[in-house]
Amino acid sequence: MSVPRLIVFDLDFTLWDCGGVWCDCLSPPFRVRDRRIEDRTGRLVRLYDDVHDILTHCDEQAISIALASRTQQPDWARELLGHLDITHRFAFAEIYPSSKLRHFAALQQASGLAYKEMLFFDDEMRNIDEVGGLGVASIYVRDGMTAELFHASLNEFAER
Protein backbone atom coordinates (compact mmCIF):
# COMPACT_ATOMS: atom_id res chain seq x y z
CA MET A 1 0.00 0.00 0.00
CA SER A 2 1.38 3.37 -1.00
CA VAL A 3 1.35 6.07 1.66
CA PRO A 4 2.10 9.77 1.27
CA ARG A 5 5.61 10.78 2.23
CA LEU A 6 4.36 14.18 3.45
CA ILE A 7 0.94 15.13 4.77
CA VAL A 8 0.21 18.86 4.84
CA PHE A 9 -2.50 20.47 6.92
CA ASP A 10 -4.05 23.91 6.86
CA LEU A 11 -4.80 25.35 10.31
CA ASP A 12 -8.05 27.35 10.52
CA PHE A 13 -11.17 25.17 10.26
CA THR A 14 -8.94 22.19 9.34
CA LEU A 15 -6.86 21.34 12.44
CA TRP A 16 -8.41 23.83 14.83
CA ASP A 17 -11.42 25.97 15.57
CA CYS A 18 -10.81 29.45 16.97
CA GLY A 19 -14.27 30.21 18.25
CA GLY A 20 -15.74 30.25 14.76
CA VAL A 21 -13.24 32.72 13.27
CA TRP A 22 -9.82 32.55 11.63
CA CYS A 23 -6.93 32.79 14.08
CA ASP A 24 -6.00 36.20 12.70
CA CYS A 25 -9.41 37.48 13.86
CA LEU A 26 -8.69 36.60 17.49
CA SER A 27 -7.78 39.17 20.14
CA PRO A 28 -4.55 38.40 22.00
CA PRO A 29 -3.22 38.08 24.54
CA PHE A 30 -4.06 34.40 24.81
CA ARG A 31 -4.82 32.88 28.19
CA VAL A 32 -4.13 29.25 28.99
CA ARG A 33 -6.11 27.90 31.92
CA ASP A 34 -6.73 24.25 32.71
CA ARG A 35 -5.58 23.23 29.21
CA ARG A 36 -8.05 25.71 27.67
CA ILE A 37 -6.82 28.46 25.38
CA GLU A 38 -8.88 31.62 25.13
CA ASP A 39 -8.30 34.99 23.56
CA ARG A 40 -8.99 38.27 25.35
CA THR A 41 -12.69 38.13 24.40
CA GLY A 42 -13.14 34.53 25.63
CA ARG A 43 -13.05 32.83 22.23
CA LEU A 44 -11.92 29.25 22.77
CA VAL A 45 -9.16 27.80 20.57
CA ARG A 46 -9.26 24.03 20.27
CA LEU A 47 -8.04 21.25 18.07
CA TYR A 48 -10.77 19.17 16.47
CA ASP A 49 -11.44 16.01 18.46
CA ASP A 50 -9.56 13.54 16.23
CA VAL A 51 -6.46 15.65 15.53
CA HIS A 52 -4.23 14.20 18.25
CA ASP A 53 -5.01 10.65 17.06
CA ILE A 54 -4.34 11.67 13.44
CA LEU A 55 -0.97 13.19 14.33
CA THR A 56 -0.09 10.11 16.40
CA HIS A 57 -0.95 7.86 13.46
CA CYS A 58 1.42 9.86 11.26
CA ASP A 59 4.17 9.50 13.87
CA GLU A 60 3.59 5.75 14.20
CA GLN A 61 3.70 5.30 10.41
CA ALA A 62 6.77 7.56 10.08
CA ILE A 63 4.89 9.94 7.77
CA SER A 64 6.28 13.47 7.86
CA ILE A 65 3.72 16.18 8.46
CA ALA A 66 3.70 19.88 7.66
CA LEU A 67 1.60 23.01 7.96
CA ALA A 68 0.59 25.42 5.21
CA SER A 69 -1.34 28.43 6.48
CA ARG A 70 -1.67 31.83 4.90
CA THR A 71 -2.77 33.61 8.05
CA GLN A 72 -2.18 37.33 8.32
CA GLN A 73 -0.89 36.75 11.88
CA PRO A 74 1.77 34.01 11.67
CA ASP A 75 3.15 34.85 15.13
CA TRP A 76 -0.27 34.27 16.69
CA ALA A 77 -0.63 30.95 14.86
CA ARG A 78 2.80 29.82 16.07
CA GLU A 79 1.98 30.91 19.62
CA LEU A 80 -1.26 28.88 19.52
CA LEU A 81 0.59 25.83 18.18
CA GLY A 82 2.95 26.17 21.16
CA HIS A 83 0.08 26.47 23.65
CA LEU A 84 -1.50 23.37 22.09
CA ASP A 85 1.88 21.60 22.47
CA ILE A 86 1.99 20.34 18.89
CA THR A 87 4.68 22.49 17.28
CA HIS A 88 7.25 19.67 17.54
CA ARG A 89 5.05 17.30 15.53
CA PHE A 90 5.56 19.17 12.25
CA ALA A 91 8.70 18.70 10.17
CA PHE A 92 7.90 21.81 8.12
CA ALA A 93 5.71 24.87 8.66
CA GLU A 94 4.92 27.44 6.01
CA ILE A 95 2.87 29.99 7.96
CA TYR A 96 2.67 33.42 6.36
CA PRO A 97 0.29 35.43 4.17
CA SER A 98 0.78 34.15 0.64
CA SER A 99 -0.56 31.77 -1.95
CA LYS A 100 -0.64 28.09 -1.11
CA LEU A 101 1.38 27.66 -4.31
CA ARG A 102 4.26 29.49 -2.62
CA HIS A 103 3.82 27.38 0.50
CA PHE A 104 4.01 24.18 -1.53
CA ALA A 105 7.00 25.33 -3.56
CA ALA A 106 8.80 25.93 -0.25
CA LEU A 107 7.64 22.55 1.13
CA GLN A 108 8.84 20.77 -2.00
CA GLN A 109 12.23 22.46 -1.79
CA ALA A 110 12.63 21.84 1.96
CA SER A 111 11.49 18.22 1.84
CA GLY A 112 12.95 17.20 -1.51
CA LEU A 113 9.70 15.37 -2.26
CA ALA A 114 7.66 15.43 -5.43
CA TYR A 115 4.15 16.87 -5.28
CA LYS A 116 2.69 13.46 -6.14
CA GLU A 117 4.13 12.15 -2.83
CA MET A 118 2.12 14.69 -0.80
CA LEU A 119 -1.38 14.70 0.65
CA PHE A 120 -3.03 18.02 1.57
CA PHE A 121 -6.04 18.86 3.74
CA ASP A 122 -7.73 22.29 3.64
CA ASP A 123 -11.17 23.76 4.28
CA GLU A 124 -11.14 26.14 1.30
CA MET A 125 -12.02 24.84 -2.15
CA ARG A 126 -9.89 27.49 -3.88
CA ASN A 127 -6.82 26.06 -2.10
CA ILE A 128 -7.81 22.50 -2.97
CA ASP A 129 -8.13 23.45 -6.64
CA GLU A 130 -4.89 25.46 -6.70
CA VAL A 131 -2.73 22.87 -4.93
CA GLY A 132 -4.44 19.97 -6.68
CA GLY A 133 -3.31 21.55 -9.94
CA LEU A 134 0.28 20.92 -8.85
CA GLY A 135 -0.38 17.18 -8.66
CA VAL A 136 -0.79 17.10 -4.86
CA ALA A 137 -3.63 14.85 -3.67
CA SER A 138 -5.84 17.54 -2.13
CA ILE A 139 -8.76 16.82 0.18
CA TYR A 140 -11.54 19.23 1.08
CA VAL A 141 -12.25 19.39 4.83
CA ARG A 142 -15.86 20.39 5.35
CA ASP A 143 -16.21 20.49 9.15
CA GLY A 144 -12.74 20.05 10.65
CA MET A 145 -10.42 17.05 10.45
CA THR A 146 -11.92 13.74 11.42
CA ALA A 147 -10.34 10.31 11.66
CA GLU A 148 -12.90 9.03 9.14
CA LEU A 149 -11.90 11.62 6.52
CA PHE A 150 -8.20 11.10 7.23
CA HIS A 151 -8.23 7.31 6.87
CA ALA A 152 -10.51 7.40 3.81
CA SER A 153 -8.06 9.86 2.22
CA LEU A 154 -5.10 7.59 2.99
CA ASN A 155 -6.96 4.74 1.28
CA GLU A 156 -7.71 6.93 -1.75
CA PHE A 157 -4.06 7.98 -1.91
CA ALA A 158 -2.96 4.33 -1.88
CA GLU A 159 -5.27 3.58 -4.81
CA ARG A 160 -3.95 6.44 -7.00
Catalytic residues: 10, 12
Name the phi and psi angles at 121, rounded to 5: -120, 130
Instruction: Please tell me whether residue 114 adopts helix, strand or coil conformation.
Output: coil
- Residue 101: how many CA atoms within 13 Å on its side-chain side? 6
Query: In sequence order, what are the residues at sequence separation of 6 or more whose Cβ sits closer than 8 angstroms to the Cβ of residue 70?
Result: 96, 97, 98, 99, 100, 103
